[in-house]
Amino acid sequence: MKIEQIYTGCLAQGAYYIESNGEVAIIDPLREVKPYIDRAKLDNAKIKYIFETHFHADFVSGHVTLSKETEAPIVFGPNAETNFDAVIAEDGQIFKLGNITITVLHTPGHTMESSVYLLKDEKEKDHAIFSGDTLFLGDVGRPDLAQKTGSITEEDLAGFLFDSLRNKIMPLADDVIVYPAHGAGSSCGKNLSKETVDTLGNQKQTNYALRADMTKEEFIKEVTDGLLPPPQYFPLNVKMNKEGYDDFQDVLKRSAQALQPEAFETAANETEAVVLDVRNQDDFVKGHIPRSIFIGLDGSFAPWVGALIGDVKQPILLVAPENREEEAIKRLSRIGFDQTLGYLKGGFDAWKKVSKAYDTVSSIPVATFKKVKESGDISIFDVRKEGEFLSEHLLGANNTPLDSINSHLAEFPKENTFYVHCAGGYRSMIAASILKSRGIHNLIDVQGGFKAIKEAEVEVSTYVCPSRYKL
């Protein structure tokens, strides 16, 4: 028996490859399926089942394409309704895989079809659970993604989740391994651990949601308190996962259009496309196409695209580092953004070579910022999350979280210079690009963000443990 976790850091997502005696199961695959097919070939094995823990909201699964290419059936838990052929399993249904078995445990709460898959080894001993978004390490899935107006509330879902955990998961042995669908960084929970594998016994000891003496009322309050609205793209991803989608190779073929600067500019002017610059933030500072939005590939790319662009139907024109254009298209497609119209051939250097107009971002080192701050009152905007800000921040700074920056535009000075920072520089550059695209140019980015500010011994607020806040 082999179990491999295939973890994608940008999405904080774990897919799983399970092999036994030449038969393979894939759990929660990503949209590009070739790696799973190639992996099975290495084992001289056949993909027999594709298991989905639920209809994912934060990424587009590869289940439809993988089933088409391997003829393996797609398995969902009870209550699932799809527009494609799928096995809708019963609670407790057993699937044989080589010398092992996988049992469906229906665990409604995160969504109504949510299911956990219990793997029993060759000796029929409970070995591991693939817990989807039902149980994370340190947390549980948010219960507000499957509401139906007038019928099911987030409190109802939280109550279902409480029962699912107590009746289906907590009775399992402490040595059972927990393989969740997400780790830290996912928007599907609030305070997920950075770890991606644990034992159930340790989770019983450390995960607040599994506290043995917790009442249902306490649980409901805990899991619903402090929930931020889900990103706009979440229901659009769910729709694609229920109804189907274009194969990634088809998306790549129509999206990977290399456009010369003139054609790129024409497309930008004649369509409603967002010009998305995915280079490193240091390169964006030095020069970028006016009104382009920066979201760099080397940061939390996909979640920020989903949160800030939102509509998966939005046309996109890419400015990418050379030889990373396909990577950008692939990572956009993972969250359902399939409307890339093309990319700038030769990258930003090609744009400059033909003397096209470009913009820059004013950015200063922290030593310069310290001197400016000490010389008098200045306007400072911290674009970190509220919990990060409350934990520790520059005295006198305003908190304008990046994920809701469009709601704060009126707060920024229209004429006087102001300063923007985040934790390390990635989010503040995204914020700067959005502000500049809205015609707000009187900003200066603080290089290195709050980390550098603290190291420079600029006065900050008294530290408060972040566990006191919902991040």
Per-residue pLDDT tens for 391-416?
A: 999 999 999 999 999 888 999 998 89
| pLDDT attached to residue 470 | 45
Instruction: Give the Cα separation of 471 and 193 in Å (integer).
Output: 12
**Burial, 213: exposed, middle or buried (Cβ in 10 Å; 0-12, 13-18, 19+)?**
exposed
**Does 3.60.15.10 match the CATH number of domain 2-233?**
yes
Opening angle at CA 467, ends 465 and 471, nearest 5: 110
Residue 189 has pLDDT above 80, yes or no: no
| pLDDT attached to residue 147 | 62
Percent of the chain whose pLDDT exceeds 70: 98
| pLDDT attached to residue 9 | 87
| Cβ-based neighbour number of residue 71 at 10 Å | 10
Q: Residues 101-114: what's their mean pLDDT?
A: 97
| pLDDT attached to residue 21 | 98
Cβ neighbors of 170 (< 8 A, separation 6 or more) are: 204, 210, 212
Please provide the average confidence, as pLDDT, over all residues in the chain: 94
Q: Residues 122-130: what's their mean pLDDT?
A: 98
| Cβ-based neighbour number of residue 86 at 10 Å | 19
Residue 471 has pLDDT above 50, yes or no: no
| For helices 325-333 and 248-255, angle between their N-to-C axes, nearest 10 degrees | 130
Per-residue pLDDT tens for 18-71?
A: 999 999 999 999 999 999 999 999 999 999 999 999 999 999 999 999 999 999
Residue 330 has pLDDT above 60, yes or no: yes
Q: Which architecture characterizes domain 246-353 according to CATH?
A: 3-Layer(aba) Sandwich (3.40)
- Sorted by where each begins, the domain ranges of the chain are 2-233, 246-353, 363-468
Q: Assess whether the region 2-233 and the region 363-468 belong to the same CATH fold.
A: no
| Cβ-based neighbour number of residue 453 at 10 Å | 25
Q: What's the distance, CA 178 to chain centroid?
A: 20
| pLDDT attached to residue 228 | 79
Per-residue pLDDT tens for 375-397?
A: 888 999 999 999 899 999 999 99
Residue 190 has pLDDT above 80, yes or no: no
Q: Residues 138-150: what's their mean pLDDT?
A: 79
When pLDDT is cut at 50, 70 and 90, the band that residue 148 belongs to is: low
C-beta separation of 157 from 144 below 8 A: yes
| pLDDT attached to residue 150 | 57
Answer with the residue of higher pLDDT: 463 or 200: 200
**Burial, 455: exposed, middle or buried (Cβ in 10 Å; 0-12, 13-18, 19+)?**
exposed
Residue 459 has pLDDT above 70, yes or no: yes
| pLDDT attached to residue 467 | 58
The alpha carbons of the chain give a radius of gyration, in whole angstroms, of: 24
Residue 281 has pLDDT above 90, yes or no: yes
| pLDDT attached to residue 41 | 97
| pLDDT attached to residue 274 | 97
Q: Residues 306-325: what's their mean pLDDT?
A: 95
Answer with the residue of higher pLDDT: 431 or 471: 431
Residue 127 one-letter amino acid: H
Instruction: Give the Cα separation of 23 and 422 in Å (integer).
Output: 47
User: What is 363-468's CATH number?
Assistant: 3.40.250.10
| pLDDT attached to residue 295 | 98
Per residue, what are the HEC states of the chain? CEEEEEEECCCCEEEEEEEECCEEEEECCECCCHHHHHHHHHCCCEEEEEECCCCCCCCCECHHHHHHHHCCCEEECCCCCCCCCCEECCCCCEEEECCEEEEEEECCCCCCCCEEEEEECCCCCEEEEEEECCECCCCECCCCCCCECCCECHHHHHHHHHHHHHHHHCCCCCCCEEEECECCCCCCCCCCCCCCCEEHHHHHHHCHHHCCCCCHHHHHHHHHCCCCCCCCCHHHHHHHHHHCCCCHHHHHHHHCCEECHHHHHHHHHHCCCEEEECCCHHHHHHCECCCCEECCCCCCHHHHHHHHCCCCCCCEEEECCCCCHHHHHHHHHCCCCCCEEEEECCHHHHHHHCCCCCECCCEECHHHHHHHHHHCCCEEEECCCHHHHHHCCECCCEECCHHHHHHCHHHCCCCCCEEEECCCCHHHHHHHHHHHHCCCCCEEEECCHHHHHHHCCCCECCCCCHHHCCC
The owner of tokens 């010369």 is 260
Q: Residues 166-188: what's their mean pLDDT?
A: 93
| Cβ-based neighbour number of residue 410 at 10 Å | 6
Residue 221 has pLDDT above 80, yes or no: yes
Q: Residues 259-276: what's their mean pLDDT?
A: 96
Q: Residues 1-15: what's their mean pLDDT?
A: 93
